[in-house]
Amino acid sequence: MKNEGPQRSLGGFDLSQRRKVWTLIAVTVAVIVVGGLVVAFHAGLFAPSPKAATVRVGWLTGDLHQLAYFVAKNRTVGGGKSFFEKYNLNLTDAAPGGYINGPTMMDAFAAGKVDIGLLGSTPAITKHLNAQVNTTIVGQCNEIGSALITKHPISNLNDLKGKTIATPGPGTIQYFLLLRLAEKEGVGIGNFTLIQLAPGDMRVAMEAGRIDAFIAWEPYCADAVVNNVGVIYKNSSDIWPNHLCCIVAVHKTFAVNNPDIVINFLKAHIEATSWINKAKASGLGSADYNLLIDIAVNFTGRSPAVIERALGNINYKFDVDDRFMGCFIDFTYKLIQYGIVAPNRIEALGYRDVYEFANKYVSMSYLTEAKRT
């Protein structure tokens, strides 16, 4: 009565025949699935979605470095018409709420979901070299503007050995700056537990005692300091003076097909950046300064006190000058040295050396045209 099962009573021959039938079915299904995938691929099912009529702009969640984008969208700043409207640009956010970090946005570029993006320079360099993401850099957003925050004051990085440090993710400029700081202070990066957190969650994680330090973009560093959750160990300008930070990247195919849109976007970006710098200089109490704080508060969800402190740690700059290019080249060398960029990628992509890569990857023509007209 024990369950020998009717299958066994069928005998070896039947079982073997049945197996053959099942094998045949499995192979047929596999062939159909694979064939279907190949057909679907050729039919364009997996191809990037067709370009929308509007320009899809990527930006990083709550990143104060990218304030110019929100200023350029603001109608009050432009006197009733935003800078983007002034230049007849019809924009949409590629990701509502923004991207969590630059590497993620570069993946979206690769998938054809972003036309123009504001992101850190290191992910733009790294993913272009390692994964051939077809982008080009056309302008700058800011210099400096990050910091390493610790829960308690420390005298050097050795004090954080064995501790947990949060970053916005490997491949971000903040992760890169942490590697640079560890190198400068002679501490192996393997001595820390590095975790990835959204910068907006870092203060809370530090308050809860889950992390001992974090490196992030503003205003999240100022947020921790103003709320007495952490202290600044190093501003990023102390780690790498005047370092390059966020840039304006464009999908290369989009740039080639729509040069006027790129130039107009840069015109709005230039006006917005200039307005930010004027508003900052006009100081507390001026209408423009108050409006600037309002825009930043709405975009980041942080208090005016936090924003005011954070703005002091950022240099807003749109130009691509010698300092930009020098830093860009130094960054690339360091990314190769740290093993973030795979060996021989410069040569594999047909660039003679890092200098040629820098000169070709950064397209000056759009910005030159935007500044001229």
Partner 1 sequence: MKEETRRKIVTLTIGALSIFLFISLWDLYALNVNSPYLPRPQQTFATLISMLIHNERDFSGLLISQHISASLVRVFYGFGLAAIIAIPIGLLSGWSWYIETATSTIVEIIRPIPPFAWIPFAIYFFKDPMNSIFIVFIGAFFPILLSTVVSVKSIDPFIIDAAKTLGAGRFNLFRKVIIPASTLGIMTGLRIGLGVGWMCVVAAELVGVKGGGLGLYIILMSSVGRFENVFAGMILIGALGFLMVMSMTYIERRLSKWAGTL
Nearer to partner 1, 77 or 100 (CB): 100
Q: How far apart are CA 144 and CA 154, in angstroms?
A: 22
Nearer to partner 1, 163 or 323 (CB): 163
Stretch that binds partner 1, among 151-159, 182-190, 233-241, 318-326 (CB under 8 A): 182-190
Nearer to partner 1, 16 or 76 (CB): 16
Backbone angles phi, psi at 353, to 5 degrees: -155, -175
Q: How far apart are CA 117 and CA 108, in angstroms?
A: 10
Cβ at position 42, least distance to partner 1 in Å: 8
Q: Does 58 bind partner 1 (CB under 8 A)?
A: no
Nearer to partner 1, 12 or 283 (CB): 12
Distance from chain centroid for Cα 174: 10
Q: Does 339 bind partner 1 (CB under 8 A)?
A: yes
Q: How far apart are CA 352 and CA 117, in angstroms?
A: 27
Q: Which one of 2, 155, 228, 350 is in contact with partner 1 (CB under 8 A)? A: 2
Q: Does 351 bind partner 1 (CB under 8 A)?
A: no
Stretch that binds partner 1, among 152-160, 188-196, 244-252, 275-283 (CB under 8 A): 188-196
Give the per-residue contact string, 5-44, with partner 1 (x = CB under 8 A; - = no). ------------------x------x---x--xx--x---
Could you tell me the two tokens for 258?
């729509």
Q: Does 3 bind partner 1 (CB under 8 A)?
A: yes
Nearer to partner 1, 10 or 38 (CB): 38
Q: Which among 237, 236, 248, 243 has a CA at the least distance from the CA of 326?
A: 243
Stretch that binds partner 1, among 194-202, 233-241, 267-275, 289-297 (CB under 8 A): 194-202
CB 43 within 8 A of CB 36: no
Q: Name the one residue in this structure whose structure tokens are 């640079």.
A: 180
CB 158 within 8 A of CB 228: no
Can you spell out the DSSP letters for 287-340? HHHHHHHHHHHHHH---HHHHHHHHTT-EE-----HHHHHHHHHHHHHHHHTTS
Q: Does 186 bind partner 1 (CB under 8 A)?
A: no
Q: Does 340 bind partner 1 (CB under 8 A)?
A: yes
Total binding residues toward partner 1, as defined by CB under 8 A: 43
Instruction: Report the helix count and the strand count for the chain, using DSSP H and E.
Output: 18, 12
Q: Does 344 bind partner 1 (CB under 8 A)?
A: no
What sign for the dihedral angle of Cα 131, 246, 94, 270? negative
Which amino acid is located at 348 in the chain? A
CA-based radius of gyration for the chain: 26
Q: Does 208 bind partner 1 (CB under 8 A)?
A: yes
Q: Does 179 bind partner 1 (CB under 8 A)?
A: yes
Could you tell me the two tokens for 292?
């600037």
CB 70 within 8 A of CB 291: no
Q: Does 250 bind partner 1 (CB under 8 A)?
A: no
Cβ at position 60, least distance to partner 1 in Å: 14
CB 174 within 8 A of CB 167: yes
Q: Does 1 bind partner 1 (CB under 8 A)?
A: yes
List of residues contacting partner 1 (CB under 8 A):
1-3, 23, 30, 34, 37-38, 41, 103, 106, 110, 126-127, 129-133, 164, 166, 169-172, 179, 188-191, 193-197, 205, 208, 210, 338-342
